[in-house]
Amino acid sequence: MIGSGPAGVYASEALLEWSDSHDESGRGVVVDLIDRLPVPYGLLRHGVAPDHPRIKGIARTLEGIAQDPRIRFLGNVEFGTDLTLADVRRLYHAVVFATGALTDRTMGIPGEDLAGSFGAAEFVTWYDGHPDVDPDFPLTARRAAVVGVGNVALDVARMLVRTPEQLEATDIPEHVREGFAGNTAQIVSVVGRRGPVYAKFTPLELREMAKIEGVTVVVDPDDLDYDDDNTDTPAQSAGSRAARELRESDRRVGQVCAQLEKWAGAQRDAGLATADEAEAAALAAGDKVVRFRFNRAPVEIVGGGEAGAGGRSDSETDGGAGEAGADARVTALRLEITEPTADGGVRGTGRTEDLPVDAVFRAVGYRSSSLEGVPFADRTATIPHDEGRVLDSPGGDPIPGLFTAGWVKRGPTGVIGTNRSCAVETVGHLTEDLAAGTLPDPADGDPQAVRELLLERGVEVVDGPAWLAIDEHEKGLGEAAGRERTKLPNRAAMIDVAGGLSRCQQ
Ligand code: NAP
């Protein structure tokens, strides 16, 4: 397995289960779980928000699987450099690429490279203590916009309004804890280019926003109006009707809308007629605000040279991104007001408004990265495959012995559990090929050969026992502070605790 996140671990599990019930040869199956990080579990460790212990708990399931003696963890091994495609083809009967997706998609609008414009993954990997990212993250924005209305946007918005005290029990590394102490965010706008019925939120995750102490959620009641009597043209009526029908027919959509309507109702009951009034009242009461803004498509991130780090701007947005100086930073997010079309899309109205913000986080989806020598479809940013069998090109021929699972196979959608069925499908074909004798025989199938090769190349492999040393160390750090775990801050600290090569040679 290349990648030890949920997809790689579930694929290992599926393979061992198959071996238990089918492999009569007595040779058994050995799985190497190879990861470029010194620690396993991929996005579960470096993607799931730290204030989501329920989801982080899945780590225990993955741990249980990974502790099977037939699975060997080989961490701190980079595919493409430490081990090439030619190497793994020479060493294994089959290779499953399960490398996930953790780079940010871009929106393709001006200003995305301004200071203060971030991809969600930049923030997520920082707060989740990814060992390779810059330990400093500038949490200096008073007003921030999060673009996208999926669960990652909710994670980012929720974390932006968290206090260090609320994160006290979590496993974040100490430098992240200190970073949150300087967080100045007061108003976080979550921006959807379509209406609420098309939001990708899951109801449980949305409802959580209501439970954060010191935070008021604000909704614009106009965004929740699906009444086609209030429209001007037949096209607008058709769009509103389609939205209303979806709200009524889809259970998840109904629950998401009901939660938004509940917040809007609370504002109304408090005598606050508009979202602006509700926002002002919350701020006056000393709360932070998470405000949902729908039917607004970002068209530009506007920058200005004047605002210092953390400085906020007012709504003057003269000097768009193109005109702003070299040290320009975000001062506003320019939004085009949209209206729904009957097919679930949106059309721009030509009317724009500038939302004054000091930072923009785009949570518009992740992208997988290509792997050296492995076919990759740029358009979808996935490995071309047929139910998990890697193809030489999209729609092309299978490459015997190469497989894929998880987000790099099907794109960045679905919850962690989705990776189990995805991995089962892939492994189903792998074992079919094994039974049919179509897996290529490796030139050097000795299970020790990979370790010898890595040692020869001077790779500081963090193997299973070395990972357990890191795991115990992190638990010890956590225990001292009354929490389950405190993550180590970087790769050097992890390798130091793991004992590097010397431990692995034992
Ligand atoms: P997502 O659910 O696909 O949401 C992406 C959002 O970005 C959509 O609202 C999309 O709007 C919007 N978007 C895309 N391009 C845009 C653009 N150019 N301008 C403006 N908006 C744009 O992706 P995600 O939030 O990254 O989540 C990925 C997967 O991880 C999902 O399956 C999610 O449920 C899962 N996840 C789960 C949890 C959890 O269970 N707690 C937490 C985090 C993530 P359109 O719909 O209009 O394209």
Domain of 141, CATH number, reads 3.50.50.60
Instruction: Please give the pLDDT value at position 23.
Output: 67
Mean residue pLDDT of the chain comes to: 91
Domain stops at, among 314, 330, 362: 362
Atom 19, ligand 1: residue with shortest CA distance: 107
In this prediction, residue 323 carries a pLDDT of 53
pLDDT score at 500: 54
Locate tokens 């993607």: which residue? 47
Percent of the chain with pLDDT over 70: 93
The verdict on 381 and 356 lying in the same domain is: no
Kindly indicate the confidence band of residue 266, based on its pLDDT and cuts at 50, 70 and 90.
very high
In this structure, which amino acid lies at residue 34? I
d(CA 105, CA 109): 12
* C-alpha to C-alpha distance for 419 and 396, rounded to whole angstroms: 24
Same domain (yes/no): 262, 387: no
Separation of 297 CA from ligand 1 center, angstroms? 14
CA 376 / ligand 1 centre spacing (Å): 22
One domain for residues 341 and 410: no
pLDDT number for residue 329? 94
Domain identity same for 152 and 79: no
Which of ligand 1's atoms lies nearest the C-alpha of 49?
42
pLDDT number for residue 319: 40
Q: Are residues 142 and 226 in the same domain?
A: yes
181 with 257, same domain: the answer is yes
d(CA 493, CA 500): 11
Same domain, 154 and 268: yes
Count of C-beta atoms within a 10 Å radius of residue 425: 18
Distance, in Å, from the CA atom of 108 to the CA atom of 405, rounded to the nearest integer, reads 28
Question: Which residues form the domain of 71?
Answer: 6-101+368-498
- Residue-wise pLDDT for 365-391, tens only, equals 999 999 999 999 999 999 999 999 999
Instruction: Report d(CA 340, CA 338) in Å as an integer.
Output: 7
CA angle, residues 82, 85, 87, in degrees to nearest 5: 65
Which residue from 449, 371, 318 is spatially nearest to 85, judged by alpha carbons?
A: 371
Per residue in 313-342, pLDDT tens?
Answer: 333 334 444 455 657 999 999 999 999 888
Crossing angle of helices 120-127 and 151-160, in 10° steps, is 60
In SS3 terms, 231-266 reads as: CCCHHHHHHHHHHHHHHHHCHHHHHHHHHHHHHHHH
Residues 233 and 168 in one domain: yes
Q: Considering only CA atoms, which residue is closest to atom 21 of ligand 1?
A: 148
- One domain for residues 388 and 303: no
Question: What's the domain count of the chain?
Answer: 2
Distance between CA atoms of residues 423 and 387, nearest Å? 10
Among 13-17, 100-104, 147-151, 235-239, the minimum mean pLDDT is found in 235-239
Residues in the chain: 506
**In the predicted structure, residue 356 carries a pLDDT above the cut 70:** yes
The residue from 345, 362, 379 where one domain ends is 362
Specify the range with the lowest mean pLDDT, choosing from 100-104, 194-198, 223-227.
223-227
The per-residue pLDDT for range 111-144, each reduced to its tens digit, is: 999 999 999 999 999 999 999 999 999 999 999 9
Q: What is the CATH number of the domain that holds 96?
A: 3.40.50.720
Residues with CB under 6 A from ligand 1: 52, 55, 107, 147-153, 155, 192-194, 198, 200, 202, 205, 298, 363-366, 412-415
Question: So what's the pLDDT on residue 27?
Answer: 61
Instruction: Give the tokens for residue 491.
Output: 């790769």
Instruction: Give the pLDDT mean for 178-184.
Output: 94
Is the domain of 24 the same as that of 76? Answer: yes
Assign 350 to helix, strand or coil. strand
Domain-terminating residue out of 300, 331, 362: 362
What is the model's pTM?
A: 0.93
Residues above pLDDT 90, as percent of the chain: 80
Is 63's pLDDT higher than 80? yes
Residue 338 in any domain: the answer is: yes
Residue 1 lies in a domain: no
